[in-house]
Amino acid sequence: MAKSHPANLKPATALAHPNIAFIKYWGNRDDALRLPLTGSISMNLSGLETITTVVPDRRLKADRLTLGGVSQTGAAFERVSRFLDQVRRLANSVVFARVTSANNFPAGAGIASSASAFAALALAASKAYALDLPEASLSSLARLGSGSASRSIPDGFVEWKPGETHAESYAWSIAPPEHWELVDLIVILDQTHKITGSSDGHKLAHTSPLNAERIAAVPGRLDVCRQAILQCDFQALAKVTEADSEHMHAVMRTSTPSLIYQTKLTLDILAQVKSWRDQGCAVCATVDAGPNVHVIAEKKDGQKALSRLRQIEGVLDVLVSAPSPGARLI
C-alpha cells in the first residue's frame, strides 16, 4: 500500500533510460490502462537518458511542463498532466507541479523516448508527492504514461507481464546489467518525430489479419528469449529477436490504415546485419516503431559492427549503448 505525507511535498529529480525490446510490445487489451496484448522482454540502454524534475507548488493553478527548455501546451502537456493526476490521486493531493524534462537523444524517432520520459516522471513525481511505492507498483504507475515505461523502471534485462488488472501488469528484472556484455548500436536514419506515434499505433494492431498469429507466437518467444539471456546464448537471442521484430512490422504494415515505419535504408541495413552474422559476427538487428535500427552485438564484435555501420551512406549517426540500471533518483 502506498503511503503519502501531503505536508512533505518537495522537489525531486529522477533519471531513466530508454529500452530496446527483444520481444516487442504492440497492441493493448485496454488502451486506457495500457494493458498489453502480450508480455515483452527488453534491455535498458546506458548513455541515453531522460532527466526529469517535479516541483509541487501550492501557488500554481495548473501544471506546467517544460521539455528541452521549451514550455509545452497541447497534447504533450495534457498527457503529462493526466499522468500527474494519477499520482495526485494516490497521494490524496490537489497540488499542481512544475515539470522540467530533457533527453540527451532524439525524441519521437523510435528510440523509446516516451519510455524513459514516463519512467523518470513516475519516479520523480512519486518522490515529490511523498509516495512510498515498491518497484512493481512504480512500474505499473509508469505504464499508465507509456506502456514501455514500465520496463525502464527495473535494472538491466527486463520482462513485463501483461496481467489481468492494473496492479498485475508490471515489469521486473530477469538479469542485472552486468550479466551479459552486449552493445546496442543505434543506427540513426531519421531524427524527426513520427507521423503516427506508438500510442496511436497500438490502437491499430487489432485491425491486422496477422495480429492473432503474433499474439499466439509471443509466449513461446518469451520463453526462448528469457533462456537465451539467462544462458548468454547469442544465436538463440538473435533468431528470436529478429523473428519478433519482423512479425511486429508485418502486423503494422497490414493494419488499417497501414503503418510503414521502415525505409529502404532500414531494410538494407537489416539485410547487411544478417549477412555479417552469416560470416561469423555475433550481431542481430531489431526495429521499434520508427526507421532507426538497433544492432545488438556481443562486445567482442561491437567495434567491427560499429565501423561497418558508420560507412553506410545515409546513416546520420550511430549511438553506442550497453545494458544499464533502471530509473533512479539523482
> 3-class DSSP state for residue 139?
helix
Residues 47 and 140 occupy one common structural domain? yes
Write out pLDDT tens, residues 153-205: 999 999 999 999 999 999 999 999 999 999 999 999 987 776 777 888 999 99
Whole-number percent of the chain with pLDDT over 70: 96
Residues 163 and 19 occupy one common structural domain? yes
Single residue among 124, 143, 177 that ends a domain in this structure: 177
100 within some domain: yes
Single residue among 144, 177, 210 that ends a domain in this structure: 177
From CA 38, how far away is CA 20, in angstroms rounded? 16
236 within some domain: yes
Residues 10 and 123 occupy one common structural domain? yes
CA quadruple 136, 141, 144, 148: dihedral, nearest 10: -50
The domain tally of the chain equals: 2
Residues 54 and 193 occupy one common structural domain? no
330 within some domain: no
116 within some domain: yes
From CA 140, how far away is CA 130, in angstroms rounded? 17
Residues 55 and 118 occupy one common structural domain? yes
Residue by residue, DSSP assigns 61-87 as SS-EEEETTEE--HHHHHHHHHHHHHH
129 within some domain: yes
- pLDDT given at position 6: 58
CATH number for the domain harbouring residue 91 = 3.30.230.10
Write out pLDDT tens, residues 261-294: 999 999 999 999 999 999 999 999 999 988 999 9
Write out pLDDT tens, residues 8-57: 899 999 999 999 999 999 999 999 999 999 999 999 999 999 999 999 99
- pLDDT given at position 111: 75
Count Cα neighbours of 5 within 13 Å in the Cβ-side half-sphere.
7
Residues 66 and 211 occupy one common structural domain? no
What residues make up the domain containing 94?
6-177
Single residue among 162, 177, 192 that ends a domain in this structure: 177
Q: Is the peptide bond before 56 cis (omega within 30 degrees of 0)?
A: no
